[in-house]
Structure formats: structure tokens, C-alpha cells
Structure 1
């Protein structure tokens, strides 16, 4: 069967379906490979560390560019001189021997040891000096503390002594004040007692004066022509027993008869009544100033 070129091409349905399925499968595989490749190559970003600076770091020093080496000027060749004639061979001293390496090493080691010992001695001396200075400082501080403590103790002792002296002075002043108060009270009491005693004595003296006046009045015979109430004062000397030793008129009444009558009455009243209390008796013995009035 011959098919001409101008005849239209007719595709089969089965082949189109197979081709479409294959194309679809290729695309699916391509998509899966693409997704798997992208997810497999994806990496998590690494954490970023940030340093915070308070100030900008100094800029690095820029090295100066090296200068190109300068070429030495070309030297002009010197003219070659003619070699002198060879000298005669003379015996020269042998060259000095090279020093032994082991001896040099020992010498260097000995010098190093000496330097090390000197350094050790210097360090030990420095440590000893530091320890001595520290000990001297410690001793000075200890002496200072002891001096301060001694001064504080002396100050405390002085203050205690001052307080004791002040307390003793206060006690002495208080005792003196108490003594003065006691003395004043004693004097007041004594004065009160003396005043009371004097009052008592005066009362006793007054009582016995009244007794003596009554006794003398009872023994006195007044003159008939006596007028008024004349006063006569007599000085009477008495014994401790009350007996009259003498009678003398010291102040007359102006009536001689009345004065003589009173003198006779005193003599007749002997012994006069006297108090038993000594101070009261002293007002009557040894002398009694007796005043008499007829109407009292």
C-alpha cells in the first residue's frame, strides 16, 4: 500500500495515551527530584555572634611602603698592579689552638651558676630585708599600741582618781555641811534648852522673890505716917542656907522710918527661902538685890 506525501497523518489513540503517561511520569519524577534536592540542600543558618564595643578599636597602623632598593653605583675597575716578587719563606709561629668546646661550656655553666647564685643571694637578701622591715614595722605598731594602751590606762586611772577625789571632796563637803547643820541644830537645841531653862529659872526666881517679899512684908511694921507706896532697894548678903549676913540700903525711899522698918523686917525673916535649883539659887546667893513696896 503506497501512502502519498500529501495524505494527512492519522495518529493512533493508544500510542498517544502511552506517550502522555510517560511524559506525565517524567514530569512527576522531575518534580520529586527537584523538591528532594532543594530540601536536602537546605541548611539551617548558623547563629550569629555580635560583640559590643564601648569605643572603636584603634586603627591598625599602616605600614609604610618599602622603598625600592637603591642600586649601588657601578665601581670603575681599578688598574691591576703588578704582583711583587715572592718573599723568602720564613718560619712563622703556629696559629693559636681553638678553645676546647667542653671547657667553654663548663665556663659558661659556671658563670650561669654564679649569676644564678648571685640572683638567689640578692633575692634572699631582699626577702630578709623585707622581713626585717616588716618585723620592725610590726614591733613599731606593737609599741605604738602598747603606748596608746598605757596612755589610756593612765588616763583612765587619772580620771578614776579625779572621780574618787571629787567624790571624797563631795563627801567631805556633805559631811561638813551635815556637821554644821548638826552643830547649828545642837546650838539651836542648846539655845532652846537654855532659853527654856532660863525661862524656868526666871520663873523659879520670880516665885522665890515673891516668897521672900511676902515673908519680909509679914515681918515689917510700917510707920503710921507712911503715905503712898514708896520703894526702897536693899542689898542683902545671904549664906547658901538663906541666913542673912548683912543688909544695906542702896536706894532710899525718902522715908527713913520706912527704910529702917524694911531693914528690920529682912533681919526678922532670916533665913530667907531659897530655891534648890543651882542656877535659880545663883540669883540670890551670895547677894540679893531686894526691892520692897508696902502695897505690893
Structure 2
């Protein structure tokens, strides 16, 4: 049935029922198609590319203020036209929303960057600890070497001082030995010289005793009828010049005439010969022990 365009539309009850039933059938068919179509054919969602900005782009240098819109002209309402009922169009369901890959990637990059920074910090700390340990070991090694060098220097100094002390002790001992040896040699030389001197003095004394005995014997007038070999000992006091001051018999021969003859011979022999040597003269002056034998 055709109606003119400006004619009013008048619906009928039978037409509304048919339209409702048809719409209901279409909706049921669409729901069944949607359920079975989605369950039979599952296609992976298409990837979505999203650009992530760290910061918003700067605004434009100049923004011209927009003019306020002009008021729309007032139009008189048109009469409502009756339109035929349209059948509902089945809409496709929206595709399932994919996860935000860019945000996940950014989060993964941030986590990876944090892990990398933590790893780098750990490596730097490990290197710093190793360098510190190496420096500490080097410092301890240097201190140990310095201590050993100081110990060696101290030992060397002690050895040098000990060697110097030993050398000084040896020098002092050698000097003492030389001094003792020189002293012994001097004493020995003195003893030898004294011995020689005593021998020389003894020789001079013996020589002058013989001279005195010979002079006295030459002036002795022996008495007659003497038997044996009588010996008389006299103590004669002399001056340094050899002159006889007195004669005294200290040991008689047992023959008074012989004793008197010897005393007179000593007095007659004055002055007696004396040595010029002082030590030899001291044996004769001031007293001389004179022994006279009849027979030599």
C-alpha cells in the first residue's frame, strides 16, 4: 500500500504485532549467531601500536582565541512525519581490549634498567671493595716490608755495634797484652840489666877484695912457728877515701899473734884501694868485712 508523503501515518494493531514478532525473531537469530560465531571462530586480536610520550608536546607559540559561535537561527519545527518501523541492525560485538603492550614494555624496560643499575652498582661496589682490599693488602705488605727493613737495619746496627765493641775489646786486650809483654820485657830487661849490673858489681867487688887482700898480705909480718891455715875475720871501718879508721876482730883464728899481725897489716895498708863505682864502693864503705887466710 502506498501513502502520500504528506499524509499522516496511522498504524494498525495487526501491523504492530507482526513487526514486534519479526523484531523478536531477528534479535533471537542475532544472539544465536553471535554466540555460535564467537565460539566457532576465535581470531587473535590485531596488535595495537601505541606511541608513548615521556612528556606532553609543548603548546603552540600563539593560540588565537576562537570566536564565540554564532547563534543558530531559530527554525520553526517541522511536522513529524510518520516513518515506517525499521528493522534493528545487528551490531558486531567490540573486540576484546588488548593489554597495553607499550605500558608493559615501558614497565619491563624500567625494571630492566633498575636491575641493570643495581647490577652496575653491585659491580662498582665489588670493584671498590676489591680495590680497597688490594690497597689494604698493599699497605699491610708495605708496613711488613718496612718493619722487616727496620728490623734488618736494627740487627745490622746491633751487629756493627757488637763488632765495634768486640774490636775495641780485642784492641784493648791486645794493648793490655802488649803492655804486659812490654812490662815483662822491661822487667826482664831490668832483671837482666840488674843481673849484669850485679855481676859487674860483684866482679868489681871481687877484684878490689883481691887488691885489698894482696896489699894487706904484703904488709903482714907473720909470727914464727904457725901451723895449719888459720883464718881471722875483721871488721874494718873505712872513709870514702879508703883510709882505715879502726879494725876489730870479729872471728879469731885461735892464734892471738896471728890475729894481731893481721890487724897491724890492715892499719899499715891504709888507705885501701876502693872502686870508683858507687854500688861497688858501697860494699866497702863504711864497713868492710875482711877475711884473711894464711894460705889461699
The TM-score normalised by the length of structure 2 is 0.60
* Shift, 1:123, TM fit: 1.6
* Shift, 1:135, TM fit: 0.4
- Aligned position for 2:127: 127
- Aligned position for 2:154: 154
* Shift, 1:285, TM fit: 1.5
Worse overlay, 278-287 or 204-213: 278-287
1:181-236: CA deviation from partner (whole Å, max 9, x where unpaired): 33333233222222211111111001110111122222322223333321100111
CA RMSD of aligned residues (A): 2.5
The answer on 1:225 being equivalent to 2:225 is yes
1:250-286: CA deviation from partner (whole Å, max 9, x where unpaired): 1100011211221122222222211111111121122
* Shift, 1:103, TM fit: 5.9
Look up the SS of the partner of 1:149 in the other structure.
helix
- Aligned position for 1:277: 277
- Over 3 Å counting, the alpha-carbon distance change for 1:108 and 1:221 in structure 2 is same
Mapping 1:137-176, distance limit 5 Å: 137-176=137-176
Task: Give the distance between the partners of 1:262 and 1:128, measured in 2 at CA.
Answer: 129
For structure 1, the residue ranges without an aligned partner over 5 or more in a row are 1-96
Look up the SS of the partner of 1:283 in the other structure.
helix
Number of equivalenced pairs:
200
The answer on 1:288 being equivalent to 2:288 is yes
The TM-score normalised by the length of structure 1 is 0.60
For structure 2, the residue ranges without an aligned partner over 5 or more in a row are 1-96
Task: Give the distance between the partners of 1:233 and 1:160, measured in 2 at CA.
Answer: 76
Task: Give the distance between the partners of 1:286 and 1:103, measured in 2 at CA.
Answer: 150
The answer on 1:191 being equivalent to 2:211 is no
Look up the SS of the partner of 1:229 in the other structure.
coil
Worse overlay, 215-224 or 252-261: 215-224
1:37-82: CA deviation from partner (whole Å, max 9, x where unpaired): xxxxxxxxxxxxxxxxxxxxxxxxxxxxxxxxxxxxxxxxxxxxxx
